[in-house]
A and B are shown apart, each in its own frame.
Chain A
Amino acid sequence: MSDIPQVERQEMEADIVCVGFGPATGGFLTTLSRALMNEDGTPLAESRVMPGMPPQVICYERADDIGFGVSGVVTKGRAIRESFPDLDLSMIPMAHEVTEEKVAYLLDPVGASRKCGAVKVAEMAIKPFARDHAFELPYIPPFLQKHEGMVMSIGQFNQWVGSQAMGTGLVQIWPGTPVAEPLLEGNAVKGVRLADQGVNKQGQPEAGYMPGMDMKAALTVVGDGPVGSVGQHLDREMGLPEGNHQREYAVGMKMVVQLPEGCELKPGTVLHTIGYPEPEIFGFLYVYPDMSASLGIFVPSWFDNPVRTAYRYMQHWMMHPYLWKHLEGGTLRSWGAKSLQESGMQGEPFLVGDGFARIGEGSGTTNVLTGSGVDEAWASGVQLAEGVIELMKQGKPFTRENLEQAYVSRRRNSWVQEEAKQAAKARDGFTLGFIPGMMGMALSGLTKGFLNMPGKSKKPWERIPRIEDYFKGVVSEQELIKLRKECQAKGASLHDALMDRAGWPEIPHDGQLLVSHQDALLMGGKVVANPGYADHVTFADPYACQVCAEQVCTDICSGQAITVNPEGGAPLFDREKCVHCGACLWNCSKPHPDDDERTNVQFRAGSGGLHSAEN
Chain B
Amino acid sequence: MSNEFHIVVCGSIVPDPLQTLEPVQGAKGPELKNEMMLPAVLDPWAGHALYEAAELAKQNPGSKVWLVSLGPKAKLQQVMMNIAQKVPFELVCADGSASGFTDSFEVARILSGAIEGIQGLDKSKLLVFGGWQSASRGSGAVMQMVGEMLGITEQFQGVDKLAPGADGSLEVLERIEGGAYQTSVCSGAPAVLGWATGELPEPPNNPQVGMQNMRLVMPALQQAKPADLSGSSLSFASVELPKQRRETRVVKDMALDDMAKEIADWLQE
CB-contacts of B143-193 with A (<8 A): none
Stretch in A313-321, A466-474, A517-525 with 4+ CB within 8 Å of B:
A517-525
A10 with B207: in contact, given A490-B253, A528-B18, A610-B39 (CB under 8 Å)?
yes
A73 CB to nearest chain B CB (Å): 15
**Residues of the B chain whose Cβ atoms lie less than 8 Å from the Cβ of A560:** 250
**A515-B245 Cα distance, complex, nearest whole Å:** 11
- Measured between alpha carbons, how far is A511 from B252 in the docked complex, in Å? 23
A163 and B74 contact, CB distance less than 8 A: yes
Question: Is A522 touching B248 in the complex (CB atoms < 8 A)?
Answer: yes
Could you tell me the distance in whole angstroms from the C-beta of B127 to the nearest C-beta in chain A?
Answer: 26
Are B253 and A177 in contact, with the CB atoms below 8 A? no
Given contacts A213-B207, A519-B246, A522-B248, contact A491 B78 (CB under 8 A): no
For residue B85, CB closer than 8 A to chain A, the reply is yes
Is B234's beta carbon under 8 Å from chain A? no
> Given A156-B37, A516-B248, A613-B38, does the pair A174, B20 have CB atoms closer than 8 Å?
no
Stretch at the interface among A64-72, A368-376, A403-411, A412-420: A64-72
A333 to B37, CA, bound (A): 12
**CB-based contact B208/A10 at 8 Å:** yes
A210 at the interface (CB under 8 A from B): yes
Contact of B85 among A174, A334, A490, A526 (CB under 8 A): A174
Q: Determine the residue in chain B with the shortest Cβ distance to A577.
A: B250
**B204 in contact with A210 (CB, 8 Å):** yes
Q: How many residues of A contact B (CB 8 A)?
A: 53
Question: Nearest Cβ in chain B — how far from A608, in angstroms?
Answer: 12
Asked whether, in the complex, the Cβ of A67 is within 8 Å of the Cβ of B208, the reply is: no
Complex partner residue of A612 from B19, B85, B205, B250, CB under 8 angstroms: B19
CB of A566 closer than 8 Å to a CB of B:
yes
Interface residues of A in 171-188 (CB under 8 A from B): 172-177
Given contacts A93-B36, A169-B219, A523-B246, contact A566 B253 (CB under 8 A): yes
Q: Tell me whether A360 is interfacial, beta carbon within 8 Å.
A: no
Which of A177, A290, A528 is the one whose CB lies under 8 Å from B207? Answer: A177
In the bound complex, CA of A213 to CA of B210 (Å)? 12
Q: Mark A135-174, 1 if CB is under 8 A from B, else 0.
A: 0000000000000000000001001001100110100111
Report B18-45 CB contacts with A as 1/0, cut-off 8 Å.
1110000000000000101111110000
For the complex, give the distance between the alpha carbons of A530 and B204 in Å: 9
How far, in Å, is B115 (CB) from chain A's closest CB? 25
Q: Given A64-B82, A177-B85, A522-B246, verify A210-B39 contact (CB < 8 Å).
A: no
Whether A491 contacts B248 by the Cβ 8 Å rule is no
Residue B114 lies at the interface, judged by CB distance under 8 Å to chain A: no
Nearest Cβ distance between residue B8 and chain A, in whole angstroms? 25
- Taking CB atoms, residues of chain A closer than 8 Å to B247 are 511, 519
A198: CB under 8 A from chain B? yes
User: Can you identify 8 A-B contacts, CB atoms within 8 angstroms?
Assistant: A10-B208, A65-B82, A93-B36, A162-B78, A169-B218, A491-B253, A518-B248, A528-B18
The digit string for A90-102, where 1 denotes a CB below 8 A from any CB of B, is: 0001100000000
A173 touches B248 (CB 8 A): no
